[in-house]
Amino acid sequence: MGNREVRTPSAEDVERAWSVVRAVLPPTPVVGEGPLLKLESLQPTGSFKVRGALNALAAIGRGEHVVTASAGNHGLGVAFAATRLGRPATVVVPENASSAKIAALGRFDIELVREGRSYAEAEAHALRLAERGAYFLSPYNDPHVIAGQGTIGHELAEQLTGRRLTVVCAVGGGGLASGLGLWAATQPDVRIVGVEVDAAPSMAEAVKAGHQVPIEVRPTIADGIAANLEPGSVTIDLVAKHVDRIVSVTETELRAAVRHLAATHGVVTEGAGAAAVAALLAGKVESRGDSDRLVALVSGRNIALGVLAEVLASSQP
């Protein structure tokens, strides 16, 4: 997988993606006092990932088949985009994927393939399918996906006109942080701060080393940002160049953020979706003065109900 040649996107790619995404998706709201919340959890698939998927499928040739591997937010984004744009797509999921996710994917007009006992095996099968002539769509190591995620920045610029901003976002594979960083590089006074879970510091280690570093991923409720990076991913250099810094949060801090968002704002989030808020609540990101507005991206809501109930009922890690 690390041998795929992937073009590094530019700020111009993000600008072009903005015209694609805004034609389909209405703006998600910015709410709150003090630190602001950008509620990407209110996207039709429950996650910001739909932006990158829409832009990618619009950019890829109309007759070209897209294949991806994901039983989560990326898969739902691809399924939504393929159905909305009338493009052929295959989503490969492991055989042990949750029934709820299978049901959610099944509502869309895609080919759903169940293969393998793990995500790695499902991804390997998707790559084999792509070798037969399809386009393999990575959840983050793809220029169209990265550019699509960066459209959140253009939306923020219209919603918070003329503001000095610190935008805080979760970092897993780095597609979101990379896209936002490309946008921020065109703005007069915007900085991007990334947030990892300390159970999986994949990007921080890669940026420090200058290349992908295999790590041991520990259990976490932030499964959406807990994985090893694809070797050679273009997001490593983009994050190193355009993201101000990366901080990490603990499981205790993530759980506290999920509870805070539910109790204070009535917002349901998954673990990864609450990472930016967790960093703010823990005092790990501070504003640059009175003129700086902190904006936390609430990136997704797709949490299993049993996990949500357990987190809400407990004040323990």
Instruction: Specify the pTM.
Output: 0.94
- Asked whether residue 233 carries a pLDDT value surpassing 80, the answer given is yes
Residues 6+ apart with CB under 8 A from 96: 117, 118
Q: Which CATH architecture has domain 51-136?
A: 3-Layer(aba) Sandwich (3.40)
Would residue 120 be called left, alpha or beta, if left means φ above 0 and alpha means ψ between -120 and 50 degrees? alpha
Question: Do 11-47+142-313 and 51-136 share a fold?
Answer: yes
Q: Give the tens place of pLDDT for each residue, 274-311.
A: 999 999 999 999 988 878 999 999 999 999 899 999 99
The CATH fold assigned to 11-47+142-313 is: Rossmann fold (3.40.50)
For the chain, give every domain's residue range: 11-47+142-313, 51-136
| pLDDT given for residue 316 in this prediction | 59
For residues 199 and 103, which has the higher predicted lDDT (pLDDT)?
Answer: 199
Q: Does 317 have pLDDT greater than 60? A: no
**pLDDT tens-digit readout, 52-71:** 999 999 999 888 999 999 87
Counting residues of the chain whose pLDDT is more than 90, the rounded percentage is: 81
Mind listing the pLDDT tens digit for each residue in 120-170? Answer: 788 889 999 999 999 999 999 999 999 999 999 999 999 998 889 999 999
> Contact, 180 vs 146, CB < 8 A?
no
Per-residue pLDDT at 3 exceeds 50: no
Helix ranges, 187-233 (H): 202-209
Do residues 249 and 195 touch, judged by C-beta distance below 8 A? yes
